[in-house]
Chains A and B, each alone.
Chain A
Amino acid sequence: MSDMDEMEDGSGIVKKFMFLNRKAPHGTVYALEGLEVVLITAAFDQDVSMVFTDDGIYQLMKGIDTKGIEVKDFSRTYRALEGYDIEKLYVDQASLDARGLTEDDLIVDVTVLSVDEMANLMAEQDVVISF
């Protein structure tokens, strides 16, 4: 954002932020609020990774229909992440398996990681925030 670039103090510090999404998309505000924080973090040109694990996987499900519960379906917003230069999306293999899901059930391209790979990725981060 140009109006923000001008306000930068020139320090230009880029940290590695990982956002862990662990909860189902609806029923609590975690998923939606977490997504907003991710978009804001990206606006500050930070290095953002998103991880979907446990019920957080359901946030990325294709064909979500929220009409019956009268809330906004923000699942399509995950497809806008690319435009925000957020391209590091990771999914936990065990969480997919436990729910009988595969990558084909998800609305965005993700990298599927084993528990060990996930642990290594997490260890590389400067900041890990869980929603």
Chain B
Amino acid sequence: MPMVDIAGKDYEVDEEGYLVDLSQWNEDVAKYMAVEEKVELTDSHWEVVNFLREYYAEYQIAPAVRVLTKAIGKKLGAEKGNNKYLYELFPYGPAKQACKIAGLPKPTGCI
């Protein structure tokens, strides 16, 4: 599998650029992935990224968009738990892009 150099350290990624070893994740990795995805990270982005990491720690999977949207709505409020808000932050798919930045695998059922 390909390796990428992030801030002087090597990381293994899969063929789509997702981090292979979740435990290697850190802020440098997130920033690198964000540049790859052409996303400029703001506090709002970090809120979703951190939410995803907590979700993964709890359930051991990356959620599908529908599930992510619902779960965010529950935790952060309805004004954030909707497609419009999440797609504005991550235009090419909140589950797909935010998971990559969060160092998670691509969500199951993300086609």
Contact = CB atoms under 8 A, between A and B. Distances in A.
Given A1-B64, A3-B65, A83-B67, A76 B83 contact: no
B108 interface: yes
B44 to A, nearest CB: 19
Interface stretch (B3-11, B34-42, B54-62): B54-62
Given A2-B65, A2-B83, A73 B70 contact: no
Given A74-B60, A76-B60, A83-B71, A1 B65 contact: yes
Interface in A1-54: 1-4, 36, 39-40, 42-43
Nearest to B109: A43
B65 to A, nearest CB: 5
B111 interface: yes
Contacts of A76: 58-60
Nearest to A4: B111
Name A's interface SS.
Answer: helix
B63 interface: yes
A3 B61 CA distance: 20
Nearest to A45: B66
A80 interface: yes
Contact of B109 (A40, A77, A79): A40
Interface residues of A, number: 18
A115 to B, nearest CB: 32
Interface of A: 1-4, 36, 39-40, 42-43, 72-74, 76-77, 79-80, 83-84
Given A1-B64, A1-B66, A72-B60, 13 more contacts: A2-B83, A3-B65, A4-B111, A39-B61, A43-B64, A43-B109, A74-B60, A76-B59, A77-B61, A79-B59, A80-B61, A80-B63, A83-B70
25 contacts: A1-B64, A1-B65, A2-B65, A2-B66, A3-B93, A4-B111, A36-B108, A39-B61, A39-B64, A39-B108, A39-B109, A43-B64, A72-B60, A74-B60, A77-B60, A77-B61, A79-B58, A80-B59, A80-B63, A80-B67, A83-B63, A83-B67, A83-B70, A83-B71, A84-B67
